[in-house]
Structure 1
Amino acid sequence: MTALSPQDIRNIYCVGRNYRLHAAELGNAVPESPMIFTKPTHALVPWQGEVGLPGSIGAVHYEAEIVLYVAEPFRPERPLDEQISHFTVGLDLTLRDVQDRLKAKGYPWLEAKGFRNSAAVGNWLPYPGLAELAAKDFSLLINGREAQRGNVKDMVFGFAELAAFIHSRYGLGAGDLIYTGTPAGVGALRSSDELVLQYGGQEVGRGTAVLRP
């Protein structure tokens, strides 16, 4: 399973402020319960080749994170490891200036988080279970230099807690994705930046950001 077609995906759930250092770098408090937002399926894009992004409405920030693929209707009484079939490293791309304006007015974040190509994913890998996945870091290289490195052991809310929270409030089923949050080190992209997504030093995605008017 290296790519996804639109019919493979139902909902895209994302988690904000799930790494303490990332919340701190943006001047945000760590939430007391998971902070969930969604992206439309039209935002989904494989991170390969040239990826077009909006370049005229403010800074586009990269946020690398582990993404889970839910394989069946979620059942809280079953171990989550049995209900996740694949994972990858993805990018939750954010129009940061737009988000700041929306937050100041108390408006929803959709314009800043849900634009086309804002939910990038690398190639999908078989999910090995939480313990084995946590044995390796994930990382993002930009133009050959490491920009972010994280490990799911450092999340504020773990996979099982996130899944149960999403299920209880919104529903969680086969084909849903969970973007599990980004570590510190986010920043703005420039046009022609090459971003390489890695898990355990293994490349899972390579693409070039093209900022368009």
Structure 2
Amino acid sequence: MATINLDDQTYLIGNIFCVARNYVAHAKEMGSRILAEPVVFLKPTSAVLQEGQVIHLPSWSNDVHHEAELVVLVGAGGKNIQVADALQHVAGYALGLDLTARDVQAEAKKAGMPWTLAKGFDGAAVLSRFVSAAAVPQPEAISFDFYIDDERRQHAETRDMAFDVATLIAWISTRFTLHPGDLIYTGTPEGVGPIRAGERLRLVLGDLIDSRFDVV
């Protein structure tokens, strides 16, 4: 099982909650809209790919897309967490890629089937290194970037989230019990698109995170 080492603690990665359609512009580019409540799906722990590992594209998809996201590491679990207390449950933050086999997802949507294969394949939950929550005291007011071969493809301002980090933690905890080591992928901004073998991907959060991944 994958683990995360942060601030002299080791977390065993548990549930991986992913938020769909959390930026208005991304919802529009996908032909969708923001709903009154968050839309959440899960990835298996076998999907985790951490900094230093190579991204292997699945042979059964011809259209794997990047979706750059802020990722939350839960440090203190709980149920029915209040929004005002939610950030106290965060151990750290990373940047991640919710890799999506878009062609497979489109077929699943057309057939009214789940997205699990399109979203949960090995390596589909890419993670940069984590930084302590203390280094990101206002997660609702930061920005991050995603590059392919040094060309910026996505830029996010977290103030543009429909549901901020605290709201997501509180809402998820009313439906699922959160545990230390759980991850929350908080949604992607506009600009999603394909990745190809031979490319180098880069995730940047100010001077805190600068992670690179090779695609093969």
Give the TM-score normalised by structure 2: 0.89
Structure 1 residues 57-68: aligned runs within 5 Å: 57-68=61-72
Deviation at 1:100, TM superposition (A): 0.8
1:8 maps to which residue?
12
- State which of 105, 114, 117 in structure 1 corresponds to 2:123: 117
Report Cα offsets for 1:23-52 as digits up to 9, x if no partner.
111111222210000000000011334221
CA distance in 2, matches of 1:144, 1:79: 38
Does 2:154 correspond to 1:156? no
The residue type equivalent to 2:168 in the other structure is L
Which residues of structure 1 form unaligned runs of 5+?
Answer: none
Structure 1 residues 170-185: aligned runs within 5 Å: 170-185=176-191
Which residues of structure 2 form unaligned runs of 5+?
Answer: none
Deviation at 1:202, TM superposition (A): 4.7
2:57 maps to which residue?
53
* The 10-residue stretch of structure 1 (46-55 or 128-137) with the greater mean CA deviation from structure 2: 128-137
Q: Percent identity?
A: 37
Q: 1:161 to 1:136 in 2, by over 3 A?
A: closer
Give the conservation status (yes or no) of the 8 Å contact 1:89–1:204. no
Deviation at 1:55, TM superposition (A): 3.7
3-state secondary structure, aligned to 1:161: helix
CA distance in 2, matches of 1:7, 1:178: 14
- State which of 128, 136, 156 in structure 1 corresponds to 2:134: 128
CA distance in 2, matches of 1:126, 1:71: 10
CA distance in 2, matches of 1:192, 1:95: 18
1:30 maps to which residue?
34
2:114 maps to which residue?
108
| Cα RMSD, aligned residues only | 2.0
Deviation at 1:146, TM superposition (A): 0.4
Deviation at 1:129, TM superposition (A): 7.4
Give the conservation status (yes or no) of the 8 Å contact 2:76–2:180. yes
Give the conservation status (yes or no) of the 8 Å contact 2:139–2:165. no
Give the TM-score normalised by structure 1: 0.90
Q: 1:131 to 1:86 in 2, by over 3 A?
A: closer
CA distance in 2, matches of 1:88, 1:159: 13
2:93 maps to which residue?
87
3-state secondary structure, aligned to 2:188: coil
Deviation at 1:14, TM superposition (A): 0.2
Deviation at 1:135, TM superposition (A): 4.0
Does 2:45 correspond to 1:41? yes
Give the conservation status (yes or no) of the 8 Å contact 2:145–2:155. yes
Deviation at 1:201, TM superposition (A): 5.1
Give the ranges of 4+ consecutive aligned residues of structure 1 lying more than 6 Å apart after TM superposition: none
The residue type equivalent to 2:18 in the other structure is C
Q: 1:130 to 1:20 in 2, by over 3 A?
A: farther
